[in-house]
Amino acid sequence: MDRSKIYALLVPIVSVIIALLIASIVIIIIGKNPLTAYRIMLEGAFGGAEQLANTIIKMTPLILTGLAVGFGFRAGVFNIGAEGQMTIGALMGAIVAMNIGGVPSVIAIPLSIIVGMLAGAFWASIAGFLKAFTGAHEVISTIMLNWIAANFASFMVTGPLAVGSGTPKSPEIAEAAKLPVVLKVQATELSIGIFIAVIVAVVMYVFIEKTTTGYELKGVGFNPYAAEYGGISIRKSIIMTMAISGALAGMAGIVDLLGVPPHRFVGELTGGRGFDGITIALIGRNNPIGIIFAALLIAALRTGSNAMQIRAQIPNDIVSIIQGIVIFLVAAERIVTTLIYLKGRKGVTTA
């Protein structure tokens, strides 16, 4: 392996380790023991069949949002709006899934997912269109679309879709639209969602690495001017990239809803998973296969930190701090490569 490939692997790993070390200082500051905290975290994420099932359930939409953001990065677009695309995808897909009783699952499930993907693609395309034709920076426009989506979602669950009393929620989706359960551990049901997500990751890998369109979109991300000189329309590429990225995020929303109880749309549902996609894409180096492992790591942090909150009274927001530090270090990867370099040199001189 050449040096750049080793660094590509080392930088994310070292970044995660540094982030965990800094987080342990934060834990010490609030008067808790970081070793206990991380042990509980590990147990909470992998300590038994139910914990493992929970981690995999959390991991499913994260693979897809990671792919959404990562694909955008590859093509030179920063889709920070996976959150909103996920919401719109889940909302529109859920409306289909609620009203689709009486048809077999082989039709109901794909149809709901496709509608969710199209809705996500449409939502992201608004930002893509604005960037392509007016130069509006996608970071601002996708964030605005996130807030519009969140407000629209909360309108839908308190108004047109509302059922029952208590927390706002939509009706349950039709039985036929629920994803088949492959494993049942006590109350936790693991659906085929994880297989869908992994297959999509493989498809994206092939699309990016082995097809002409994938190559062109990557080319625009790498050097837009050269790509345009080579006859690729930048405008078309930007809109298409946003649409594909949004479709993946929309899929994350609808697959989660079809696969995980209560199988209802509950409004602002995403709980930061769109933003998790950014961390996952960066740790996975925007490589679909790397993203699967990065999603596992973040999912484990999420489930593990819930256990940590309950058993060690350490707020689970520590995960956001860890993620932020990882993102920072990957953005400024020269800090990390310099550290690795210095460490390596020190090793040589002392030996």
Partner 1 sequence: MSWIEAIFAILVNPLFYKLTLLSATPLIFSALGGTYSEITGVTNIALEGIMLMGAFNSIVFTLITGNAWIGVLMAVIIGVGFTWFHAWASIRWSANQIVSATALVIVAQGTTSFLMIPIFGNEGQTDFIGRVPYIEIGWLKGVPFVGDIFGSMSPFTYLAIAAVIASWILMYRTPLGLRMRAVGENPEAADTLGINVFKTRYFGVLMSGALSSLGGAFLSVGELGRFVENMIHGRGFIALAAMILGNWNPAGAMWAALLFGAAEAMNLQLQSSSIVSVSANVKPLFNMLPFIVTLIVVGGFIGKTRSPAADGEPYEKES
| Member of 266, 289, 335, 340 binding partner 1 (CB under 8 A) | 335
| Member of 11, 91, 100, 319 binding partner 1 (CB under 8 A) | 319
Of 182-190, 240-248, 273-281, 291-299, the segment contacting partner 1 by CB under 8 A is 273-281
38 scored as a contact of partner 1 (CB under 8 A): no
Q: Which is nearer to partner 1, 11 or 255 (CB)?
A: 11
| Member of 274, 275, 284, 312 binding partner 1 (CB under 8 A) | 275
Interface with partner 1: number of residues (CB under 8 A): 51
CB 273 within 8 A of CB 65: yes
In the chain, what is the straight-line distance between the N-terminal and C-terminal CA atoms, in Å?
24
Q: Which is nearer to partner 1, 85 or 188 (CB)?
A: 85
30 scored as a contact of partner 1 (CB under 8 A): yes
User: What tokens were used for 40?
Assistant: 């509980």
Site for partner 1 in 110-149 (CB under 8 A): 126, 130, 134-137, 139-141, 143-148
Q: Which is nearer to partner 1, 277 or 288 (CB)?
A: 277
Of 52-60, 101-109, 285-293, 313-321, the segment contacting partner 1 by CB under 8 A is 313-321
| Member of 317, 341, 342, 343 binding partner 1 (CB under 8 A) | 317
171 scored as a contact of partner 1 (CB under 8 A): no
According to the 3-state scheme, what is the secondary structure of the chain? CCHHHHHHHHHHHHHHHHHHHHHHHHHHHCCCCHHHHHHHHHHHHHCCHHHHHHHHHHHHHHHHHHHHHHHHHHCCCCCCCHHHHHHHHHHHHHHHHHCCCCCCHHHHHHHHHHHHHHHHHHHHHHHHHHHHHHCCCHHHHHHHHHHHHHHHHHHHHHCCCCCCCCCCCCCCCCHHHCCCEEEEECCEEEECHHHHHHHHHHHHHHHHHHCHHHHHHHHHHHCHHHHHHCCCCHHHHHHHHHHHHHHHHHHHHHHHHHHCCCCCCCCCCCCCHHHHHHHHHHHCCCCHHHHHHHHHHHHHHHHHHHHHHHHHCCCCCHHHHHHHHHHHHHHCHHHHHHHHHHHHHHHHHHC
Q: Which is nearer to partner 1, 41 or 52 (CB)?
A: 41
| Member of 28, 33, 107, 158 binding partner 1 (CB under 8 A) | 158
57 scored as a contact of partner 1 (CB under 8 A): no
Q: Which is nearer to partner 1, 190 or 322 (CB)?
A: 322
The Cα–Cα gap between 41 and 90 comes to 29
Q: Which is nearer to partner 1, 157 or 240 (CB)?
A: 157
| Member of 162, 176, 266, 289 binding partner 1 (CB under 8 A) | 162
| Member of 102, 104, 159, 347 binding partner 1 (CB under 8 A) | 159
φ, ψ (nearest 5 deg) of residue 223: -160, 90
Which x/- pattern over 63-92 shows residues binding partner 1 (rule: CB under 8 A)? ---------------x-x------------
Binding site for partner 1 (CB under 8 A): 26, 30-31, 78, 80, 126, 130, 134-137, 139-141, 143-148, 151-152, 154-155, 158-159, 162, 275, 278-279, 282, 313, 315, 317-328, 330-335
